[in-house]
Structure 1
Amino acid sequence: MNNFDQTTYSGSKSINESVNGSHDFTIRGYSLAKGMGAGKYISSDTFTVGGYDWAIYFYPDGKNLEDNSTYVSVFIALASEGSDVRALFELTLLDQSGKGKHKVHSHFDRALESGPYTLKYRGSMWGYKRFFRRQSLETSDYLKDDCLSMHCTVGVVRNRVEGPKHFTIAIPPSDMGQNLNYLLETETGCDILFRVGDETFKAHKLILAARSPVFRAQFFGLVGNPNMDEVALEDIEPSIFKAMLFFIYSDTLPDSQQFTGSMSTSTSTIMIQHLLAAADRFGLDRLKQLCEAKLCEEVNVDTVATTLSLADQHRCSQLKAICLKFASANLGAVMQTEGFKYVEETCPLLLSELLETVASAAVDERSGEGGLTRKRSGSSIIGLDLAAAAGAVHMVVEDDPNVRRVRRRA
């Protein structure tokens, strides 16, 4: 009698893969960083890849004393606790002439030859003591307007084991938002009518009350009227109210093209700015946060001043801090925009905060601290003299019992 039919089989898979992430590091005011001394470095913000924090260290006078500042050194360092962290690295010094002749040092290309690099503990580094001869660097297309830009990629090696797959049943994603939006689009069971400008919108009081504390109070609060069937709204555009209704029913940020008919970035930014104000007005905190995140992605020289004013007015602290930092780093260009003129005329205290941000960046640079430590996908070191900042924007703060004004002088 044989027992072959009683034999059991099993199997598993060991999978080695890399979790990749990138960081852009810009050094502005390169010439001001020279003379720090060998072994002293400028650090980027920390950035997270594969569950570990990393930082880029740039040594303007080189890492080795014996090189007599002949070379600049660049390293990628493990900035969080960890032991035997295996990773691949790539450092790229960007050609700023537009020719695309970047200087690339890639560990990814050599992975098959030597395998990943192992970092033993926090502070371990991978990089080059003689990354670039300094004299050559300073006459190359990699340095433009006293600015250097680098791109860093880290690939943290992970291992996982997959056992045998069991039978599974796929669960479709939630369609609650689609179902509720269908009620809005078909006006099924609507019991309230909104008049917004020359347009009207039907909706459901219970759904609005569930999503917005303002509507809840208006329809079902102590002084609310559950029997009202019509509301007139002022100080809001029909397209913005329609977009807000879309969010209330679907819980997603609407596509600006759907509501404005335009694909331009400027139109999208303006719509999101108005939508943020509406979200604040009706207590839609999640919509407000989504608008903040979207405006943060779209911050540029042309929009930063108006977005800064909006963030200050509607108490968006994170967005305000980002706008202040961006504006201070691009002050000359920002001052030429219509948005900056509007801020000058209507929000003088914001100009004072902006000047404080410029001064703080300059002080941090002089002390070698390099600015904020917030994690993000890119960072800049700005070489800025306080005297230069004062030359870029002269501001006078006048104290008065009733008003505190800040004005710009030519």
Structure 2
Amino acid sequence: MTTAASTTSVLRSSSAIVAVTESGQHLLRIDGYSHTLDIPTGSNIKSQPFRVGGHSWRISYYPNGLSSTWSDYISLFLRLDDGVPQGVRARHTFSLLDREGRPPVTRYTNDGARIFTDLGTSAFIRRSELERSEHLRDDCFTIRCDVTVLNDIQTKSIDVGGAALAVPVPPSDLHRHLGGLLATGEAADVAFEVDGKTFMAHRCVLMARSPVFRAELSGLQAAKESAAAAGGSIAVPIKDMEAQDFEALLHYVYTDSLPEVEEGQAAAMLPDLIAAANRYKMERLRLLCEDKLREFVDARTVAIILAFAGEHHCQGLKEACLRFLNDPENLREVVKINGFEHLTKSCLSVLEGP
């Protein structure tokens, strides 16, 4: 007698609950610390807005404390600036940097992923302690704010691939680590003097990102060894560039992205960054700035931007301007604002070019 063997098929499936986070840093430099002490207790100065996790934030700096109880202290608060009524789940820290940007001293941590629109500390540091410390130099000190925003918690299916479960891999955070290295200046070995300001950086990073930096810095090995023996860094002057533009260039070098600035600042910064990209032969940076600058092409700016595009060999930006002018309604508005003679004088060489 034979018995039929039975088989059992096991179907496997898998899912994961993923808490998506996004982190960012903001440096708030207090220049002229002693003059900020003229502000009354309970009054604050707000930082420029910065974006992390899809939200806009500001740091509120109270040089004479949040209230009379804390009048001997500096108070710091992180405020949600985009009016989200239900608040945002986030954690943050406030740290102190010295003028050399050495590793930060964390003095406040909110590590509970709190739901908040306004959270910080009334007693960040006693003013007398700050004034005795190495963090205050030349009436200046820097606060670093690290923010991690907890976004939506998502459920995702995972392909088990037989018996083995897939391992969820988070997105690359190399840009965050390199950006932190730039912010702290840890192990920096070159100091750039730009428009009266000093920027600490790392030769190996710069040489890897730009052939011009490679050529300029590779010949400084002897100077590097001499500076290292003296416990210092190489000093390199940069001429014909503003400090804010060089700072934005370094941000790109370390993070492969443009710094987040307000719209008016971006319109002024992007042409300077294109010039810097050409200067240091960084093609992707130039194209990225070209693409962003296209957003500012309108009847009032097209003539200036077209002339700039021709001068700096920005073919994509030039074509965007010409497409704008190709619309008869746009052209009439441009002539109305600038005058036909001004338009032709400004753009003739570009229009006749290849």
TM-score (norm 2): 0.49
In the superposition, the TM-score normalised over structure 1's length comes to: 0.42
The answer to which structure, 1 or 2, has the higher relative contact order (CA under 8 A, 6+ apart) is 1
